[in-house]
Amino acid sequence: MVIRHSLLPLHRQTGTDALEEARTHPPFPLPKFAGVDHCLRTSGRSRALPRIELYLYTAVLGLALLWAASWIIEASSENINRRAFRENDVSDFEWAMWFTTFRNHILFALSGHVIFAKICSMLSPKNRSLIYMLYGALAVLITMGWTYVSLVLSHCIILYSVALIKRKWLCFVAGLTSLATFKMEPFSTWQEGFVTGSFDLQDILFYGGCGFSIMRCMSFALENCEKKDGNYSFMDLIKYNFYLPFFFFGPANNSNLTRKEREMWNITVQALVHLGAILVVDVFFHFLYILTIPSDLKLLKQLSDWPLAGLAYFNLVYDWVKAAVMFGVINTVSRLDHLDPPQPPKCITMLYVFAETHFDRGINDWLCKYVYDYIGENHDSIFKELVATICTFAVTTLWLGPCELVYIWSFFNCFGLNFELWVAKLFSLPPFSTIELIKERERKQALLEEPEPEVGKQKAE
């Protein structure tokens, strides 16, 4: 189920009544959306493994990781004098940029958002979303230039114009076409040429901001199609899109106007956890060169299976840590603004159910609401499920960027969801269904014929 809230202001009401009205009947319901990767939910129910079994897996995995890490430390220390091995592992461009070169800029922008927005919202709570929008648009303008803001606004205007027609298929066509212009040449290069200046993270911010803006506009347009009375205003879309913490990396998230009990304590704990994760990664990079070693083929050939397996695992966990830290910092800021962002990604080590929805929660909700559940409905029809999964992964392929690896990944995920339904349908047919029915009757009969306990007999006497 997609949880709906709103970033839009309270135009007509003030005080407690306005908060309660906005909480129960938000003026503009929008889904959670975040991230770049996704996993679709499965039609079956996932059950927690027994506690003893989880403890056993944890112990075995922990010992294996310690053993593999010892090999990686040994390989790192033996090659510390090589040119590629510096004081610490700085092979990851993104991590180095976020927490060294642009660390102060990021802290300044997010701190300014929290302080400025908090002061202004206290002075004028009814215009809170407008203040967020003005600060976000100003920050984007200073960072990327007026041509970039004009480019984003042009796509917003086009998609808002399509939203006024109130045809969902047309909103999808327009939105996916706009998204394709940033994923395919020569349109991508042509639009990138509108951005003036040059700095290290320009490409990441350019494509991140444009991509998420289009997806937010699509969700806005699709929700406007469901609005029975009139249309949402263009200013509502701008307020929704230019919320700074979510602008470049998502999610397009929504307001929960009442904080939960001990919410500030939870926010403080989460902030400290994410700060601790950053420090731990920096310390590990001084001893475990998990990113530099894979780029050295000669060194890789000299390693045994244990360090190779450890390198593969640690690189996957490191990708999760990056996503968790990025979303965690953004979510912490958004919770200070009384927003309710998606849950952070769950560690891949804890994912034992295929195609579970624990890594990127927001993109899963978006795809399920507007594509997968909309087309597949109850997911009990083989044909509808096939069409729903094909459309869902077609949108995902376009979002991730069409290439051979994405095609392969999408095909096997699409096949997996359909194969699950095919197997369920097969076992619902005779003779499998008959065997299952007989076993069920035998279980019920055994329960009915079970003798009463001795205590029960004594009480009856």
Distance CA 91, CA 316 (A): 15
**pLDDT-based confidence at residue 350 (cuts at 50, 70, 90):** low
φ/ψ (deg, to 5) at 240: -70, -35
In this predicted model, which residue has the larger pLDDT, 455 or 243? 243
| 4 pLDDT above the threshold of 60 | no
Cβ–Cβ under 8 Å, residues 85 and 79? yes
Across the range 428-454, mean pLDDT stands at 70
Which ranges of 242-372 does DSSP label H, i.e. alpha helix? 244-247, 263-284, 297-302, 305-336, 361-367
- The answer to whether the bond into 245 is cis (omega within 30° of 0) is no
Give the C-alpha distances (Å, rounded to integers) separating 310 from 43, 76, 290: 33, 13, 9
CA dihedral 303, 304, 310, 316 (to 10 degrees): 70
Q: Which residue did the predictor score with more confidence, 45 or 230?
A: 230
Does residue 257 surpass a pLDDT of 50?
Answer: no
Higher pLDDT, 189 or 84: 189
Lowest mean pLDDT among 182-196, 229-243, 257-271, 336-350: 257-271
The two three-digit tokens of residue 394, written as one number: 């077609």
Measuring CA to CA, how many Å separate 370 from each of 54, 223, 260, 391?
36, 10, 29, 11
Mean pLDDT of 401-406: 87
Q: Which residues of 163-176 are buried (b: 16+ CB within 10 A; e: fewer)?
A: beebebeebbebbb
**Mean pLDDT comparison of 175-189, 256-270, 342-356, highest-scoring range:** 175-189
Residue 121 has pLDDT above 80, yes or no: no
Average pLDDT of 353-381?
Answer: 75
pLDDT at 408: 92
Phi, psi of 390 (to 5 degrees): -60, -45
Percent helix / strand / coil, the chain, rounded to 5: 65, 0, 30
In the numeric block, which tokens belong to residue 441? 């009757």
Percent of the chain with pLDDT strictly greater than 90? 11
Report the pLDDT value the prediction gives residue 82, as an integer from 0 to 100. 60
pLDDT top residue among 402 and 91: 402
Instruction: Name which residue leads in pLDDT, 349 or 386.
Output: 386
Angle at 219 between CA 165 and CA 139, to 5 degrees: 115
CA distances from 202 to 105, 192, 194 (A): 14, 10, 12
User: Per residue in 11-22, pLDDT tens?
Assistant: 333 333 433 433
58: confidence class by pLDDT, cuts 50, 70, 90: confident
**Which pLDDT does position 39 carry in this prediction?**
37
Assign 339 to helix, strand or coil. Answer: strand
Q: Which positions ≥6 away from 271 have C-beta within 8 Å?
A: 332
Where helices occur in 230-296 by DSSP H, the ranges are 234-241, 244-247, 263-284
- pLDDT confidence band for 437 (50 / 70 / 90): confident
More confident residue, 209 or 320: 209
DSSP notation for 96-123: HIIIIITHHHHHHHHHHHHHHHHHHHHH
Look at residue 254 in the predicted model and tell me its pLDDT: 45
Query: Among 192-196, 416-420, 438-442, which stretch is predicted with the lowest mean pLDDT?
Result: 438-442
What is the CA 439 to chain-centroid distance, rounded?
A: 42
Question: Please, which residues bridge with residue 5 across strands?
Answer: 30
What are the structural domain ranges in the chain? 15-30+124-247, 353-461
Lowest mean pLDDT across 193-197, 328-332, 367-371: 193-197
State the distance between the two ends of the chain, measured CA to CA, in whole angstroms. 52
- Give residue-wise pLDDT tens across range 45-57: 445 678 888 889 8
3-state secondary structure 194-214: CCCCCCCCHHHHHHHHHHHHH
Residue 377 has pLDDT above 80, yes or no: yes
User: What are the Cα distances from residue 197, in Å, to 21, 145, 148, 213, 287?
Assistant: 46, 8, 11, 21, 37
